[in-house]
Chain A
Amino acid sequence: MKALYQFAKNVSRNKAFLLMVLPGALWLLIFAYLPMPGAIIAFKEYRFGKGGFLASILESKWVGFKNFEFLFTAQDAFIITRNTVLYNLVFIVLGLICSVSMAIILHELTNKKLSKLYQTGMFMPYFLSWVIVGFFAYSFLSIDKGVLNQVVQYFGMEPISWYSEPKYWPYILVFLNLWKGIGYSSVIYLASIAGIDKSYYEAAMIDGANKWQQVTRITLPLLQPMMIILTILAIGGIFRADFGLFYQIPRESGILFPVTNVIDTYVYRALKVVGDFGISTATGLYQSVVGLILVLTANGIVKKINRDQALF
């Protein structure tokens, strides 16, 4: 009874805030939480039945963790997990460094017109789908018609068969990922820098701080919360690979699989033979659960160091 009273009191005290989250919370309820129980298919051998989806789920047989098995028992399980995690780690670390640096550079350039022009330019790759990017990569890397091999031959070297040389691909994939993403992610940091109170810099100037000192002592520390949040969020997706990048760009060259096959492409290929909702849902669930564990860990660590900068 007392607890209930306390609860009512809390609610009324937080009335304004609750009102603010209400529309969003309703949306979450309808569009995110209502469909969520559907993930139960991951534990079922899904069969269609009369009466639609719900009835079909109820009638389908429970199979426990059988739909997850193929992710672990396969001989390639280690390779695809390693590829997914390592690539994502590199993407997160390099992506963070590059986009923060780029944001700071763009902010500091003396000529603001040029800076704006560069920003607009950096956004362009975001509009091109991986399919289109794949065409371009091909026009560079094609063994006989590719631009790169023409350059290589110009210098008197043997042309390189790019699509059958795994050693180059980690670099190519990392480069393309950064190329496509930096414009987008540096906008967040650019906006954060714009939001920094200018009086900090004024004070620093009075103290005689030079540019480098201003960046390291003011800009970077003030960007830290944003960096932490974005990194934690990215860690949540560490078991999920960007399908288009790993599928379209290497043109399904089998020789490259040891360095290009990731969880998402592996499952995509598998689904062609064993088309099954159970398996795709199981994969998604597995990726989410691992992601959740990692985020909770990362968040716990951040919380220990600085409560305010944690995600929740």
Chain B
Amino acid sequence: MVRKKGLSLLALVLVLSLVLAACGGKNNESGSEGSNSGTNGGSEAPVELVWYTIGTPPRDLQKVNDEINKITAEKINATVKIKMLDWGEYSQKMQIAIASGENFDIAFTSSWANDYFGNAKKNAFLAIDDLLKSHGQGIVAALHPDFLEGTKVNGHNYGIPANKELPQQRVFRFNKTFVDKYNLDISGVKTLQDLEPILKTFKENEPTIAPIPAKIAEFFHVDMPINDIPIIGMPLDTTDYKLINVWETDEAKAYLETMHRYYQAGYLPKDVATQKDAGDYFKTGQWLVDVADSQPLADNLWSADAGYEVVSVPMQDPISFNWSVAGSMQAISINSEHPEKAMEFLNLLYTDADLMNLLDFGIQDVHYTKTGDNTKDIIPDSGYGFPAFTAGNLMLTYLNSNDAPDKWEQFQKFNDSATAAPLLGFQVDTSKITSELASLKNTKDAVYDALFSGTVDPAVQLPKAIEKFKENGLDKVMAEIQSQIDAWVASK
């Protein structure tokens, strides 16, 4: 009895491993076939570049990868192996791959995933100043100069920003359905306070819906040396480069008081402070206003996404911050064996429209159809999709049929209109204030959501919060960053 069960178990294992191995083998074959056919007669053997990038791997990634290799083999005598790692795993996997000294060539990096500034400071990436001059002229020509200037760390470039929108522009976003229905005047809105009459009218008519559906990001007229410690700031119009305590400013106090008033009036959901919303309200349409970071023609994008019209009004003029400039980059690994080839490949991403269209939209007539000289339509559920904003020169790519024909010109204009934030290009060296930063970050997490969602009364809680920051070394940290800023300003 027992023996029989053991045997059948063994048989199961054998069958399974055979089946799996067989399927796997097939995949491998098709893969290698593709890369062979892409080889072109060059004197040297083509180099294979390993490229880690972010995004959910689409089903047809290998097919598109093979097509890409045909182009790259011909133009730079190299092939790439695209390894896409899913959004939620990317940072963690890359951290380990980088730390273990794995031999990859190119990797996606940014201010929000696979931390660019941290990695650059720790030498994870190659300084590419010289390579940019020798093999990356196309990149330098395509990018707004602030992109490369703003992403310097200790005076060197370690990564190449994707050519997309450069500055931050924070906007109030409105659900147009309700704006029209109740005839709300949104044109004059610039600050949180300006929303009051609109919210009031809305609430009277729709008592069951919270007009502000979730936590919203604030905008104060400051630049922050460390985004996660938002109490330390540099006024945008600074002339003497002296840091201030942002939460002690009148701007912040007025904002928090307004927010608290809104919360009490029922303009926000009761549990907004602990809400973990991944955009559900957007799907249901049960909202009036929220806050987002904009780019040219963003309203169309949002409307298409939501399935109803969304309109926005800006809170600020476009400003380039460190994090917005480093919003999406590609860097070359310090352990890359072919840094020149890697740079040549990146250069292609900024100069070769065919390559970019292939990478972003897939194969023509399989994943998209062309509708004009410079326009295309995506074929839905065709098995390919790539987050275009993560790599290369977006302005080379086809527009959607319904896009404004001057979309990319508008992007250029948007980028040209940006002013540089005072700390653009400055990076804090955290090594001397590690313990203090650790406690300040924990302090921030303890008080921020409750205060900035309006859940608690700032008249009582704000002084307490500021006191807590001070007890945890705020003054020491500010003094240290100030001295680093002074040195940086002096060296400029």
Contact = CB atoms under 8 A, between A and B. Distances in A.
A257 interface: yes
B364 interface: no
A162 B434 CA distance: 33
B98 A48 contact: yes
Contact of B122 (A47, A164, A252): A47
Interface stretch (B11-19, B241-249, B436-444): B436-444
A48 B445 contact: no
B228 A75 contact: no
Given A48-B124, A273-B228, A75 B100 contact: no
A251 B276 CA distance: 8
Contacts of B271: 142-144, 163
Contacts of B435: 69-70, 73-74
A254 interface: yes
A284 interface: no
The residue among A76, A142, A254, A267 with the most chain B CB atoms within 10 A of its own CB is: A254
A270 B437 contact: yes
B36 interface: no
Interface string A44-72: 01111111110110000000001101100
Given A143-B270, A164-B273, A269 B442 contact: yes
B438 A74 contact: yes
A113 B449 CA distance: 50
B269 A144 contact: yes
Given A70-B435, A74-B472, A270-B437, A56 B445 contact: no
A69 B445 CA distance: 21
Interface string A143-171: 11000000000000000010110000000
Interface in B236-258: none
Contacts of B434: 66-67, 69-70, 274, 276, 279
Nearest to A51: B101
Given A74-B472, A255-B450, A273 B445 contact: no
A273 B472 CA distance: 15
A277 interface: yes
Interface residues of B, number: 42
B246 to A, nearest CB: 17
B270 A75 contact: no
B274 interface: yes
A142 B228 CA distance: 27
Contact of A75 (B334, B439, B448, B456): B439
Contacts of B98: 48
Contacts of B449: 252-254
A304 interface: no
A275 B118 CA distance: 7
Contacts of A66: 434
A67 B100 CA distance: 20
B228 A254 contact: no
Contact of B99 (A48, A142, A252): A48
Contacts of B420: none
Contacts of B228: 272-273
Contacts of A45: 431
A143 B210 CA distance: 14
Given A51-B101, A275-B118, A277-B99, A253 B274 contact: yes
A53 B100 contact: yes
A75 B101 CA distance: 36
Contacts of A251: 274, 276
A273 B428 CA distance: 11
A270 B123 contact: no
B115 interface: yes
B316 interface: no
B447 interface: yes
B118 to A, nearest CB: 5
Contacts of B437: 270, 273-274
Contacts of A254: 273, 445-450
Interface in B108-151: 115, 118-119, 122-124
Contact of B100 (A52, A261, A266): A52
25 contacts: A45-B431, A50-B335, A52-B101, A52-B335, A70-B434, A70-B435, A70-B439, A76-B439, A143-B271, A161-B270, A163-B271, A164-B455, A253-B274, A254-B273, A255-B446, A255-B450, A257-B445, A257-B446, A269-B442, A269-B445, A270-B439, A273-B437, A273-B438, A274-B438, A275-B115
Interface of B: 95, 98-101, 115, 118-119, 122-124, 226, 228-229, 269-271, 273-274, 276, 334-335, 430-431, 434-435, 437-442, 445-450, 455-456, 471-472
Interface of A: 45-53, 55-56, 66-67, 69-70, 73-76, 142-144, 161, 163-164, 251-255, 257, 261, 266-267, 269-270, 272-277, 279
Given A273-B440, A274-B430, 16 more contacts: A48-B119, A48-B124, A53-B99, A56-B99, A73-B435, A75-B471, A76-B442, A144-B271, A163-B271, A164-B273, A164-B450, A253-B450, A257-B445, A266-B442, A273-B226, A275-B118
